[in-house]
Amino acid sequence: MSEERPAERGPAHSRSDVLVQDPNLPPVAVDPGTLAAEERRWPPAKIALWVAIALLGGVAWSMIALVRGETINAIWFVFAAVCTYLIAYRFYSKLIENKITRPNDLRATPAEYKADGKDYHATDRRVLYGHHFAAIAGAGPLVGPVLAAQMGYLPGTLWIIFGVILAGAVQDYLVLFFSMRRGGRSLGQMAREELGVIGGTAALIATLTIMIIIVAILALVVVNALGESPWGVFSVAMTIPIALFMGVYLRFLRPGKVSEVSLIGFVLLIAAIVAGGLIAETSWGQALFTLDRTTIAWGIIIYGFIAAVLPVWLLLAPRDYLSTFMKIGTIVMLAVAIVLVRPEINVPAMSEFAGRADGPVVPGTLFPFLFVTIACGALSGFHALISSGTTPKMVHKERQTRFIGYGGMLMESFVAVMALVAALSIDRGIYFAMNSSAAATGGTVEGAVAFVNSLGLTGVNLTPEMLTSLAANVGEESVVSRTGGAPTLAVGLAQIMQGLIGGLGMMGFWYHFAIMFEALFILTAVDAGTRVARFMLQDTIGNFIPQFKDVSWRPGVWICTAIMVAGWGYILILGVTDPLGGINTFFPLFGIANQLLAAIALAVCMAIVAKQGTFKYLWVVAVPLTFAAVITITASILKIFSPDPRVGYWANNFAYRDALARGETSFGPSPDVASMEAVVRNTTVQGTLSIVFVVLTIIVILMAAIATIKSWRSGGGRSAEEPAVVSRTYAPAGLIPSPAEKELEDRWNALPVDHPHLHLFHRSH
Amino acid sequence: MAAGEQALGRVRAGWQGFVWYVKAVLGEDAYQVYLDHHRRVHPGTEPMSEREFWRDKMDRQDRNPQGRCC
């Protein structure tokens, strides 16, 4: 790329350069010169600290990547991840800040100049970090890494850690910053502004389709975890009355007592898990709560519809509190347990399936399928919706976006690393018995043992006793073909936790605790996802039939909710009844959809960076965008055109069609004609969705490329940023304030609350 | 003795900080935030009561749903 263009100091920037703050207030920003001097100063202690971090990280990476012992200790994964995150945060995100975002604390954020005390309000950076993290982290980073563990520990670890620092965290940070500069506008609005009508519409359709597929696959994960599991069904079902009780409590008994009711809810939840164990042992409990997967799927569909039309206060809000409470608590618990227990991992760095396309967990070769299997945790397009949703409206000072956007995503990546470690710590034979589809194992212990031992994996010698005793320990009828990642993670977590608290006798509790918290995240995502998608659909239909825009018009709400639920419900039922497995055939679509959304978000960011005229550092966005585009498009092309029926949807479709045309009555794992017809139907849906996704991706990326080239030719473009308003408040940028920041913060804290100039801005409007 | 008291003070401050953080992350301080804002911007007018505020907050969420991530 060429040198930086003069337009870099275009109108938008010069305007903020002349911002003059109220002279009666202490400075609202640390002097940039002082900040730069602080950063340039490297006293020996600071050098020693960073050398130590780099050395520890280096040692950890060599243990993981180079040393080939029998086993490797999980603690090295933690060290490698944390040291790499620290270095990337300190140096790479700083580069992005200096060269691309260039935040200016003289400028007020939307939380300040649009302050309404409700949606827009300046929030303490540490609190907002927690908020943002709770909103972006869900079941995604817990599921993908578990499935990718079939390729060995190294590919997944490398992608989670390097993917996040170069792609995922960059996307989250840039979207948050650009949305904040635009008054908290959504990704869809920014896409329309930057990419024009065609690009914007393609982005909207893509987002809607992606919502449907993501909700469907998440629901499939829950169904697979709860099928034939009376304990799981009972305790997860109990979350509904618990949430309803919490909702009524907050509405009528003690409004606003959020932490109190969350604590009550948490205690009830634990009671529900314990009670589930007792009830699952009784004959009536087994008769009542042992449900097959299709029944559970229908239950979730009906639940999804009702939950999305019920008022927020009754079900969604209280469950959201509970889920935030559980999320932060459980993740801290898992981190502490891994550090204390330090499990040994005896999975090879690169497994037999890394170079082959016939992995039983998810099919396809390492490139590109590793990168779509692990989406959340490395690069998740869904985050762009959060980073352009509530968070930008609550940022106190511009310089804090690096800590919240980039730093928040690093934390999610760390969750993914821990999920990977938990999945790797269980026996490999058990891992494959749990994650191979029932089409391969027949769903029986004998079948699973025969299948797994026939895979010819080194060091794997599965016995029936291993499977039956594990099932007994976790309180399940069987652990064979419990696909979807959640049960495997639950076993991993239960093994680690029982080593710390309770021993084998507590393993069932820990297993169901893990299932419960994953189900809780997913049910919240199902409900919230349906609502957001319905809202988008109402808005779109409203362009033709204005009445649909009225969100309190009940028929419109019901019709649009029903359409969205029918969309994901259909795919869920297909997944549950898929003769070829379900998760293994549908999960790639989930990853492709998520990475596609990431490509859209990064494309929007690239167009914005080009408009700013920052061409010298365009690679910071262009590299992850190219990578996301290449993996999504390659994976889609393989899913559409691969002649290998295990990988290509259409190849499989044609093979089954031909078999039916020849009059065969069984084919592959399908024992009868009905099952063969089901495969034809499912592969048609999957193949069509793949085509839709790849076409939309190509349109959006093309539009972004055109917008970028246009900006390059003219040396930049008109910025869609809101006009700069001068700030009247101050707060430090990162977790720990620098000396200059601390000093300034103290000056602000020393101001009397009724200082006459403190709130002038607010009174003026 | 003084050292013990100091340590106790630190523990108490740490606990208070923890409680503040958990409440803030869960969003329990929303009403206080609204009240502070209201007093500054619309002095002399009556703010919503706590009950009214939470009802209004939930109704706003109904009209403007926010995503939760996967």
Q: What are the domain boundaries of chain B?
A: 2-63
Residue A6 has pLDDT above 50, yes or no: no
Query: Which of A119, A137, A251 has the CB atom closest to B69's CB atom?
Result: A137
Rounded distance between C-alpha atoms, residue A222 and residue B44, angstroms? 52
Average pLDDT rounded to a whole number, residues A650-665: 95
User: Which of chain B's residues have a Cβ under 8 Å away from the Cβ of A331?
Assistant: none
Token reading at B2: 């003084």
User: Quick one: which of A151, A143, A652, A641 has its CA closest to A357?
Assistant: A151
**Calpha distance A726→A712 (Å, rounded):** 30
CB A135 within 8 A of CB A409: no
d(CA A623, CA A306): 43
**Per-residue pLDDT at A762 exceeds 50:** no
**Contact between B36 and A551 using a beta-carbon 8 Å cutoff:** no
Q: Which residues contact A81 (CB under 8 A, 6 or more apart)?
A: A157, A160, A161, A413, A414, A417
Q: What is the pLDDT of residue A8?
A: 39
Cβ neighbours of B45 in A, within 8 Å: none
Name the band, by pLDDT with cuts 50, 70 and 90, for residue A181. very high
CB A705 within 8 A of CB A87: no
For residue A415, which of A374, A373, A470, A368 has the smallest C-alpha distance? A374
Residue A143 in contact with residue A761, Cβ under 8 Å?
A: no
Query: What residues have CB less than 8 Å from A614, skipping those under 6 apart?
Result: A4, A8, A99, A100
Asked if the Cβ–Cβ distance from B25 to A324 is below 8 Å, we say: yes
What is the pLDDT at residue A69?
80
First and final C-alpha spacing in chain B: 52
Nearest-angstrom CA–CA distance, A733 and A746? 14
Q: What is the pLDDT of residues A186-220, one digit of tens each?
A: 999 999 999 999 999 998 998 899 889 999 999 99
> What pLDDT band is residue A162 in, cutting at 50, 70 and 90?
very high
Give, for A72, the enclosing helix (H) or strand (E): strand A72-73
Residue of B nearest to A247 (CA): B58
Q: Which amino acid is at A673?
A: V
Q: What is the C-alpha to C-alpha distance for residues A128 and A121, in angstroms, rounded to an integer? A: 11
Strands (E), A188-290: none
Alpha carbon distance, N-terminus to C-terminus of chain A: 45
**Among partner residues B41, B62, B67, which is closest to A389 by beta-carbon distance?**
B67
d(CA A725, CA A533): 34
Closest CA to B17 of A257, B25, A668: B25
Three-state DSSP state, A117: coil
- Mean pLDDT on B28-48: 91
The pLDDT of residue A759: 59
Q: Are A353 and A151 in contact (CB under 8 A)?
A: yes
Residue A684 has pLDDT above 90, yes or no: yes
Q: Please give the single-letter amino acid code of residue A315.
A: L
Task: Give how far the C-alpha of residue A455 lies from the chain's centroid of Cα atoms, to the nearest Å.
Answer: 32
Closest CA to A226 of A293, A144, A142, A307: A293
pLDDT on residue A14: 42
Q: What is the pLDDT of residue A761?
A: 45
**In the predicted model, is pLDDT for residue A317 greater than 80?**
yes
pLDDT tens, A223-252? 999 999 999 999 999 999 999 999 999 999
State whether B26 and A259 contact (CB < 8 Å): yes
Q: Give residue A207's identity as a one-letter amino acid code.
A: T
Q: Check residue A718 and give its pLDDT.
A: 87
Cβ of A317 within 8 Å of Cβ of B61? The answer is yes
Per-residue pLDDT band at A112 (split at 50, 70, 90): very high
CB pairs under 8 A between A and B: 135
Contact A458, A195 (CB under 8 A): no
Give burial (CB, 10 Å; 0-12/13-18/19+) of A691. middle
Instruction: Return the pLDDT at A282.
Output: 95
What's the gap in Å between the CA of B48 and the closest CA on chain A? 12
Confidence of residue A634 (pLDDT cuts 50, 70, 90): very high
CA distance A384 to chain B (A): 10
CA–CA distance, A496 with A342 (Å, rounded to integer): 8
* Residue A1 in this model has a pLDDT that exceeds 70: no
Q: Is A561 on the interface with B (CB under 8 A)?
A: no
Q: Taking a C-beta distance cutoff of 8 angstroms, is the pair A616, A99 a contact?
A: yes
Here the tokens at position A410 are 């690093």
- Rounded to whole angstroms, how far apart are CA atoms A569 and B67? 19
Chain B residue closest in CA terms to A312:
B62
A458-467: average pLDDT:
93
Q: Are A594 and A380 in contact (CB under 8 A)?
A: yes
**In A98-186, where does DSSP find H-type helix?**
110-113, 125-136, 140-148, 153-163, 169-181
The number of CA neighbours under 13 Å toward the Cβ of A302 is: 6
Any bridge partners for residue A667, and if so which? A670
Amino acid at A573: I
pLDDT at position A668: 86
Q: Provide the percentage of residues in chain A whose pLDDT is more than 70.
A: 96
Cross-chain residue pair A551–B34, CB shorter than 8 Å? no
Model confidence band, residue A664 (pLDDT cutoffs 50, 70, 90): very high
pLDDT score at A355: 87
* Residue A727, phi then psi, degrees to nearest 5: -80, 155
How far is CA A346 from its chain centroid? 28
Helices A673-714 and A619-641: crossing angle in degrees, nearest 10, is 150
Contacts of A122 in chain B (CB under 8 A): none
pLDDT score recorded for residue A152: 94
Distance from CA of A504 to the nearest CA of B (A): 31
The confidence score (pLDDT) of residue B3 equals 82
Which residue of A117, A316, A765 is in closest CB contact with B33? A117
Q: State which residue of chain A sits closest to B59, comparing Cα positions.
A: A312
- Contacting A residues, span 245-284, partner chain B, CB-CB under 8 Å: 250-251, 255-259, 262
Residue A4's pLDDT is 40
Residue in the block written with tokens 């590793």: A370
Nearest one of A435, A433, A420 to A485, comparing CA atoms = A435
Mapped onto helix, strand or coil, the DSSP state of residue A427 is: coil
Tens of pLDDT, residues A86-106: 999 999 999 999 999 999 999
Confidence of residue A5 (pLDDT cuts 50, 70, 90): very low
Cα separation of A235 and A269, whole Å? 8
Backbone angles phi and psi of A731, in degrees to 5: -160, 150
Mean pLDDT, chain A, rounded, equals 92
Q: Between chains, do A312 and B62 touch, taking CB under 8 Å as contact?
A: yes
Cβ of A121 within 8 Å of Cβ of B33? The answer is yes
Confidence of residue B1 (pLDDT cuts 50, 70, 90): low
Please report the ipTM that was assigned to this predicted complex.
0.93
Cβ of B26 within 8 Å of Cβ of A383? The answer is no
Question: A252: exposed, middle or buried (C-beta count within 10 Å: 0-12, 13-18, 19+)?
Answer: exposed
The pLDDT assigned to A298 comes to: 98
Structure-block tokens of residue B27: 């969003």
- Residues A533/A564, Cβ–Cβ less than 8 Å: yes
Helix (H) or strand (E) holding A652: helix A649-661
- What DSSP letter does each residue of A262-319 carry, written as one string? HHHHHHHHHHHHHHHHHHTTSHHHHHHH---HHHHHHHHHHHHHHHHHS-TTTTHHHH
Q: What phi and psi, each to the nearest 5 degrees, are found at residue A342?
A: 45, 65
Q: Inspect the interface and report whether the beta carbons of B34 and A124 lie closer than 8 Å.
A: no
Taking an 8 Å cut-off on Cβ atoms, the answer to whether A250 and B67 are in contact is: no
- pLDDT of residue A11 exceeding 70: no
Q: What is the pLDDT of residue A17?
A: 57
Q: Is B25–A551 a contact, with Cβ atoms under 8 angstroms apart?
A: no
Instruction: Say if the Cβ atoms of A256 and B50 lie within 8 Å.
Output: yes
CB interface of A with B, residues 310-349, below 8 Å:
311-313, 316-317, 320-321, 323-325, 328
Contact in structure between A525 and B70 (CB atoms under 8 Å):
yes
Q: Which of A594, A111, A174 is nearest to A375 (CA)?
A: A594
Name the minimum distance, in Å, from the CA of B5 to any CA of chain A. 26
Say yes or no: A532 contacts chain B, CB-CB below 8 A.
Answer: yes
Average pLDDT over residues A530-536: 91
Task: With residue A73 as reference, give the H or E element that holds it.
Answer: strand A72-73
For residues A559-581, average pLDDT: 96
Q: Is A667 helix (H, G, I), strand (E, B) or coil?
A: strand
Q: What is the pLDDT of residues A62-86, one digit of tens each?
A: 999 998 788 899 999 999 999 999 9
Band (A432; pLDDT cuts 50, 70, 90): very high
| CA distances (Å), origin A565, targets A528, A531, A677, A743 | 12, 10, 24, 54
> Which candidate, A137, A602, A144, A651, places its Cα nearest to that of A370?
A144
Q: Which of B40, B41, B62 sits opposite A311 (nearest CB)?
A: B62
- A359-415 pLDDT, tens digit each: 999 999 999 999 999 999 999 999 999 999 899 999 999 999 999 999 999 999 999
Amino acid in position A132: H
